[in-house]
Every structure is written in C-alpha cells, then in structure tokens.
C-alpha cells in the first residue's frame, strides 16, 4: 500500500504513518516482491481468452508470470480486537464489506469481491468467509511497540491458534496443492508506524494446520470507516504475487494509492497475464488497423532477442469506472523486463510507464513517476499532441541494452467508446468486423447435430456452480476427431436463440453469460445476465451457475453452445432448472436434523451427501456447507 509523498521524505526523518506504504514481509524482512522460492502459485489451469473479430489470432496464454486462479476462490478472514481498541464494526458488516454486491458504505464503489469481479471480467470470484471477533491477549499498543514486524507475527500465531478449533483451514487450499491461497487478518484500529508492529502488509508464516501450509497471509487495519484499497492491494500480493509498483504512478492499484474507495483497476498487462483479457502479439512485420474498447485487449510486442523477458505492451485506458481517478485517456504503453527485480528506481524498472510526453527526450522524467504527480493527461498516446510511437520519435525508449525496438504505431485516434490506431504504418482501410464468424450461407451448409442436456442448479447467491458432462466421446465420434484434439482442431461458439454462431466469449475462458431468453450477453450484476456456462474443452465438461439474487426456485432457462470442426457442428442445448431453497450450514451440531433428502454441498460446490429419510445429517468434518432443499 502506498500513497503520494515527496521522495525526499523517504530519505529524511519526517516519516508520517498515514502517508506511507505497506510492505511484503518475508521471514521478518521487508521486500519489494516475493523471492522466487516464496512466490504464490496456483495449480489450476488458466484458459486463454478469445478474440472478438480481430484479423490476427489471439495469443494463447497457457502459463503466466504470476499465480492465476480462476472461478470462485474461497478466502478466510479472521477478525481480532483489543482491550484498548474494541471492534468498531460487526461481523456481518465486515462480511458485506468483503462480499456484498454493490456495497457502498462510506463511499465504497462495491465490495472487495465486486472489485475483483470487475477487473477480471467476471472470471475471479473472491469470496471471503469471516470469523470473529477474537479479543487479543495483549493491548494493541503492546503489539505496535515491538520492533519490526515481530508484533504482527506474534498476533498472527495467536489468531491462527485461537480459530483452529472453529476453522477448517484446508478448505482455503482452493487448488489442493497443500498450501492456502488467501488468509486475511483484519484488526481493530489503524496501523500506527510504518515498518513496525501491525502496519498493513502481506506476510509469510511457517504455520501448518489441518494438513495445509498457511504460508501467505495479509494483515489489514479496520479503523471503523470502510474503504477497500488496502485489502484489494494486499490481496494482490498474497494471491497473485504481484509486486509493489514503485516509480510507476496511479495507473494500477499495485502502484500508487490513488483512491481508497474506488481503487484504480489492475493494469492491463497483469490482467492479460491472468487471462482476464487477451494478449494480441505483434511483430515488426505486422500492418493492421485496430479498433479497441477500454481494457478489451493488451497488445504485446516482445523483444525478439529476449522474448520471454522483455517487451512493450499497450492498451486503451479510459478514465471512467475503476479508472475514473486518472487524469487522461488514450493508449497507455508499458515497458516490462522480468529480469529486473523490484521497481524502485526511475531508470530501470521491472514495469514502467512509457510516457507519451517523453518524445524526443534523452531520458524519461522521474517527476512523471511515483511519488508525484500520480497520473497526467500527457502520459497517454492519442490524437493531437501524441498520435504516434516510433524509435525515431521516441529515442529515449529503447530495449534496456540500448537497441531500437522496431515498433511503429501511427494514426492514434481520439478517445471515445473505442480508440483506433495503426500498427506498422500504411494501414489498409478499416474493415468492419462481426461477432458471427461465418455468413448465413456458410452456417447453413454445416451438418448440425444437437445433444440435449439437463441440469438442476442450486439457488445460491455466491455463483456456486454444478459441473455437467458434455459427452465428449459422443461429440468426438460425430466430429470425426479424437477427444484430445478438441482444443487444437475444433472451434467453440456460443449459439444465439436464432441459431447464429457467436465467437465472442463473455464468461470464464471458453464460456458465456446468457440472459433469460438464452441470448449471449456480457457479465453485469445490474444488467440482463442471468446464467453462465463455462466450458472446458480439455475435459469436455461445463460449469453451470447463475447470477446472485436474479433467479427463483423452479425457473427454467435454455442456453446453447457448440463446437465446430469442418462442416460438422455439435450444439449443446442445456436446460437449466433452478432448485429449491439454499441454506448455509456453519454449525453442524445445531443443523443435525432437517428436511429429509436435502442435498449437502461443500463450499466449493461439490456434493458431499444428503440427509437421511429421517432428516439426519451425514457424518461430515468441521466446516461450512450448503444445503439445498429437495
């Protein structure tokens, strides 16, 4: 966590706690980024995002530089207060702060969960389960007065030990690799002294409970007024392993602390690395006229001599929504080099902004970087003063070994709903694109075979899903290819109610959101999106779920998706029925008796049994469960 201050203050003795930044703390020492041996990992597969009509193929992103969880991720939050600082809010208020759709207390633009759903295009659902409040053994002042982070380490061990009897820590190992992904400690009151005591940070422990390692955790203060920046920022360290972006500016929440209540989005380079938006790979031979929406694509130009380490990336950033605090709009370019550790000097950074206003200069202006001014309108490339980028126009922008890049971007348009630009120079006239990949006549020539599927979906307000088998062996026989060839040979589509194929994916990976009529729509909690179907072609299964608070028991929806190979098409027509009432079980003993035949699911949405004919609960380990009425 950082805020804008004069750099001289960092070197001097006038260090004010409310103006300073949080840390990553590894084995008791502050570090700028996790060392190699401590970087968060996630063993789940990361699907590639899809194009929506570009002439160029979207790069397949199979392995990123950072941990890349997908879907619903369960996170644990433990609350602690003190004899000299009592809990300022209730447990239910904290649950809303972290999870409630549209949370707006004290000016917050949504909950922590809303933030990550927004920046991930609905592909990451970070859901926090909250326990507390626990009264610490010592006053808050005792922990704050200890040297370094020994006070927070002491409190961390104390909190873990206290909640061990109530919490099954293994449920927060979402990918079942033996290590939890997200454990948060929220304490009453403000952090007092930077680099000491309980100052907010993402930390490391050697704790092991319920058969899993509790390595990464984060600690956030709760002064009584709600804001989401600190929790969001520290989660970036803890879950994904993103570093602090010093000398970077307001252009990412891992950079400056630009706004506590509506934090800036994660930068598009990190988003593309996660697979939340597509990478579009560019070479020096490409000539193309492009039209893009804000945050839709991340264009990447790799250093051909160091393609796995260094490159330039750019995307359209507009100062609306999560980026409202930014001073301008246009193409935002970044220079990355993963061989550089840390991000704490203005000359060479692991990730830096390429300022449009740096044209013709021998070096970039350190004043354009953190800590001041945060963001400027002249950072962005756009029609007018900064309509192009090339080695001739930007002699200061070179690969870090001093060689020229060979990249040329011209004719950058005026920011609006979309932004246009030319790659390579001498672009052809723009050609309009369509989400339908084939004309109606070519679609008519396909041999279409339908597979009808039915699924009962639990009524749930946390995007719980049911996994449905898509009959891969049958599909392979129809298409005339092997099942393990679907990902390479077959093309995946959504199917509109009129039978039109739609190549635009709007869900997680190869998935879609649908409205009540089965039309493909974008994820929008306040819009028409109702149900989703996220297909995994490798396993030929799909995850079916619904938007919270938009469906009722007994309702039925029909959605369609398809795979095409050659002139053969298999359409999956999925009838989704919303099941009965859903109840969260947090105390097994008190819920021992209930409605006979009700099904029981764990917090990951997997069935674990059902009540007996007499209504008895099956024998289950401690933890939280979901019960769906028969």
**Average pLDDT of the segment spanning 591-617:** 80
Q: What's the confidence (pLDDT) of residue 46?
A: 39
Q: What is the mean pLDDT of the chain?
A: 84
pLDDT at 271 over 50: yes
pLDDT at 572 over 70: yes
DSSP state string for 96-158? HHHH-TT--GGG-SS-HHHHHHHHTTT-EEEEEEEEEEEE-SS-HHHHHHSSTTHHHHHHHHH
Q: What's the confidence (pLDDT) of residue 5?
A: 30
- The least confident of 98-107, 116-125, 453-462 is 453-462
Higher confidence at residue 517 or residue 442? 517
**Average pLDDT of the segment spanning 139-145:** 95
- The least confident of 19-23, 62-66, 278-282, 292-296 is 19-23
Question: pTM of the predicted model, to two decimals?
Answer: 0.68
Q: What's the confidence (pLDDT) of residue 591?
A: 83
User: 57, 45 in Cβ contact below 8 A?
Assistant: no
Best-predicted range by mean pLDDT (97-106, 441-450, 536-545, 605-614) = 97-106
- DSSP strand E in 424-551: where? 447-457, 465-469, 491-495, 501-502, 510-514, 520-521, 531-536, 541-546
Q: What's the confidence (pLDDT) of residue 55?
A: 36
Tell me the pLDDT band of 482, cut-offs 50, 70 and 90.
Answer: confident
pLDDT at 244 over 80: yes
Q: Which tokens is 394 given?
A: 């930007």
> Sheet containing 599-602: which strands, arranged edge to edge?
582-585, 625-628, 599-602, 607-610
Q: What's the confidence (pLDDT) of residue 44?
A: 60
Quote the CA–CA distance of 397 and 232 in Å, as a whole number: 32
Chain centroid offset of residue 130 CA: 21
Q: Which tokens is 32 given?
A: 């700028």
pLDDT digits 0-9 by tens, 298-335 = 999 999 999 999 999 999 999 999 999 999 999 999 99
- The least confident of 28-42, 156-170, 266-280, 532-546 is 28-42
Tell me the pLDDT band of 261, cut-offs 50, 70 and 90.
Answer: very high
- The least confident of 18-22, 122-126, 450-454 is 18-22
- The least confident of 396-400, 583-587, 626-630 is 626-630
pLDDT digits 0-9 by tens, 180-201 = 999 999 999 998 888 888 999 9
Quote the CA–CA distance of 481 and 475 in Å, as a whole number: 9
Q: What's the confidence (pLDDT) of residue 532?
A: 94
**Average pLDDT of the segment spanning 234-256:** 91
**Average pLDDT of the segment spanning 346-359:** 81
Chain centroid offset of residue 21 CA: 22
pLDDT at 172 over 70: yes
| CA-angle at 97, arms to 95 and 101, nearest 5° | 95
Q: What's the confidence (pLDDT) of residue 581?
A: 67
Quote the CA–CA distance of 477 and 474 in Å, as a whole number: 5
pLDDT digits 0-9 by tens, 215-239 = 999 999 999 999 999 999 999 999 9
């Amino acid at each position: 966590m950082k805020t804008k201050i004069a750099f001289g203050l960092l070197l001097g003795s006038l260090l004010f706690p409310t103006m300073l930044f949080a840390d990553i703390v590894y084995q008791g020492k502050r570090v700028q980024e996790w060392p190699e041996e401590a970087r968060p990992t996630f063993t789940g597969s990361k699907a590639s995002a899809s194009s929506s009509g570009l002439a160029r193929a979207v790069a397949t992103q199979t392995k990123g530089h950072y941990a890349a969880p997908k879907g619903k991720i369960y996170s644990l939050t433990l609350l602690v207060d003190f004899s000299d600082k009592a809990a300022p809010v209730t447990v239910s208020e904290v649950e809303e702060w972290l999870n409630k759709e549209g949370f707006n207390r004290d000016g917050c633009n949504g909950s922590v969960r809303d933030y990550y759903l927004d920046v991930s295009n609905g592909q990451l659902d970070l859901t926090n389960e909250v326990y507390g409040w626990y009264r610490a053994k010592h006053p808050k002042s005792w922990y704050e007065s200890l040297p370094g982070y020994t006070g927070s380490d002491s409190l961390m061990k104390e909190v873990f030990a206290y909640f061990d009897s109530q919490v099954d820590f293994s449920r927060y190992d979402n990918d079942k690799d033996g290590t939890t992904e997200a454990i948060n400690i929220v304490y009453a009151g403000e952090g007092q002294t930077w680099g000491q005591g309980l100052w907010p940070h993402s930390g490391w422990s050697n704790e092991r409970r319920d058969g899993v390692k509790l390595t990464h955790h984060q600690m956030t203060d709760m002064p009584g007024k709600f804001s989401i920046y600190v929790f969001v920022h520290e989660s970036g360290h803890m879950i994904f392993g993103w570093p602090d972006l010093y000398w970077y500016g307001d252009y990412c929440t891992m950079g400056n602390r630009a706004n506590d209540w509506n934090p800036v989005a994660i930068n598009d380079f990190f988003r593309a690395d996660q697979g939340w938006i597509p990478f579009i790979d560019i070479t020096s031979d490409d000539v193309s006229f492009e039209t893009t929406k804000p945050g839709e694509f991340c264009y990447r130009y790799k250093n051909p001599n160091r393609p796995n380490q260094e490159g330039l990336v750019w995307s359209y950033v507009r100062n609306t929504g999560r980026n409202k605090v930014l001073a301008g709009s246009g193409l935002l370019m970044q220079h990355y080099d993963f061989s550089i550790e840390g991000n704490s000097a203005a000359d060479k950074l692991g990730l830096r902004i390429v300022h449009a206003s740096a044209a013709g200069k021998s070096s970039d202006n350190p004043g354009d970087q953190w800590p001041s001014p945060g963001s400027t309108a002249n950072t962005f490339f756009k029609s007018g003063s900064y309509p192009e980028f090339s080695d001739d126009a930007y002699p200061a922008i070179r690969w870090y070994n001093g060689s020229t890049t060979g990249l040329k971007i011209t004719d950058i348009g005026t920011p609006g709903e979309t932004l246009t630009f030319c790659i390579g120079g001498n672009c052809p006239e723009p050609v309009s694109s369509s989400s339908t990949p084939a004309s109606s006549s070519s679609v008519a020539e396909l041999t279409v075979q339908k597979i009808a599927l039915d699924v009962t979906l639990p009524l749930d307000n946390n995007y719980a899903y049911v996994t449905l088998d898509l009959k891969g062996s049958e599909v392979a026989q129809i298409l005339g290819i092997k099942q393990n060839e679907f990902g390479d040979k077959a093309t995946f589509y959504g199917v509109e109610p009129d039978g039109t194929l739609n190549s635009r994916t709007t869900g997680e990976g190869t998935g879609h959101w649908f409205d009540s009529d089965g039309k493909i729509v974008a994820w929008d909690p306040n819009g028409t999106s109702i149900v989703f179907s996220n297909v995994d072609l490798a396993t030929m299964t799909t995850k079916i779920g619904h938007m919270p608070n938009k469906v009722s028991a007994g309702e039925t929806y029909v959605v369609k998706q398809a795979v095409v190979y050659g002139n053969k098409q298999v359409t999956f027509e999925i009838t989704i029925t919303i099941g009965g009432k859903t109840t969260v079980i947090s105390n097994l003993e008190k819920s021992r008796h209930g409605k006979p035949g009700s099904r029981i699911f764990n917090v990951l949405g997997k069935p674990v049994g059902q009540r007996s004919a007499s209504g008895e609960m099956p024998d289950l380990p401690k933890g939280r469960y979901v019960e769906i009425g028969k």
